[in-house]
A = this chain, B = another copy of it.
Amino acid sequence: MNILIIGGAGVVGQKLATSLAARGTLRGQEISRITLADVVAPTVIEAPFPVDTVKCDITDPASMAATIAADTDVIYLLAAIVSGQAEAEFDLGWNINMHGTINVLERARALGTKPVVVFSSSVAVYGGDTPDPITDFSSLNPQTSYGAQKAIGEMMVTDYSRKGFIDGRAFRLPTISVRPGKPNAAASSFMSSIFREPLNGVAANCPVDDSFPHYYLSPRKCVENLIIGAEIPAEDFGPNRAVQLPGRMWTIRQCIDAMTAVAGPEPAKLITWNDDPVIRQIVKGWRFDLRPEKALRLGMSADDSFEDNIRYYIEDDRP
C-alpha cells in the first residue's frame, strides 16, 4: 500500500500522514510507503515505513508524472489555492485548483491501475439562492471561484471514476477548526485563529459578529473521515462520488462559550471585534444548514461538541 499525499505540507496532509503511520494499514493492507508532496518541501513525519518528501508543481504534467509513481495505490489530493487567495488571484486559482486537478487525474488515469483518488472539496460549492437545508441533492451554486473550482473537480472525479480510469472519491470539507499553525489566506482562517491564538495567549480578531453561524469539523475528525473515505467500497458511492463530510453548525458565540467551558474565561478576552467587509462578504455566502446523510450512511461522523474541537487542539497541537 503506497500512499501519496499531494498537499502533504499542509495541516490536514501532515495529520493524515501521522494518523496513517500510527495505523500502519489502509484498505486492509500494510502501508509500505507514504510520499508527502507539495509546492514546498513537506516536513517528514515519523513512521514504521519509509516516508518520502517531494517538492512538486501540480500545474506541470511532467512534475505530476514524476511525483505520482507507477505503483501508487492511493492518492490524496489536498493541495489547493484557498478561497480568499483564489478570489484575489483569479488565474492562479483556476490554474492550481482546476488545471492542477486535471493533471493529477490524467496521471492517475495513465497509470492504468485504477488508483484510489481522494479529492478534498469544500462547503464553498454551496451558495446563492439554493434553499436551505442543503441536502445531498441540493444544487451546487458556488459564489466564489474557489467553490466553482472545487465543484468542477468533483464532476471530473465522478466522471473519471464512472469511466473506470480511477476509483475516485470527493469529500466536501466543512471549515476545519481549530486548525493549528498560522493564519492563512482562506476567508475562513479567523474561524480557527480566534480560538487558537487566545488559547496560546495571543490576541486575534473576529471580522464578523458573534451570531455568525457556520459548519465546523475538527482536524482530528476530518482525518478520521478522510481515512474512512479511502476505505469505503467503490460501489457504496452510487452514481456520484462527491459527498458532504459531516460537521456541526455553531455560531461564533457558541464556539467561544465552548472554549470558555474547556479553558476558562481568559482566552475569550483576547478576541478583538473589528469588522472586515471583504471577509464578511465571502463567508456570509457560505452555507451552514447542511444534512450530510450520505456521509453518515457511509460511516463518517462529526464532532460531538465544539468543546471537543477545543480539547483536540489542546491535546494534539497547542505548542
Contacts and interface: CB of A to CB of B under 8 A. Distances in A.
Interface of A: 90, 127-131, 136-143, 145, 148, 151-152, 155-156, 158-159, 162-163, 238-240
A131 B137 contact: yes
B240 A129 contact: yes
A143 B159 CA distance: 7
Contact of A136 (B137, B139, B142): B139
Contacts of A143: 162, 239
Contacts of A238: 128-129
Nearest to A87: B163
A131 B139 CA distance: 12
Contacts of A137: 129-131, 138-139, 141
Nearest to A99: B102
B148 A158 contact: yes
Contact of A141 (B128, B141, B239): B239
B139 A155 contact: no
A289 to B, nearest CB: 14
Given A148-B156, A151-B155, A152-B152, A138 B139 contact: yes
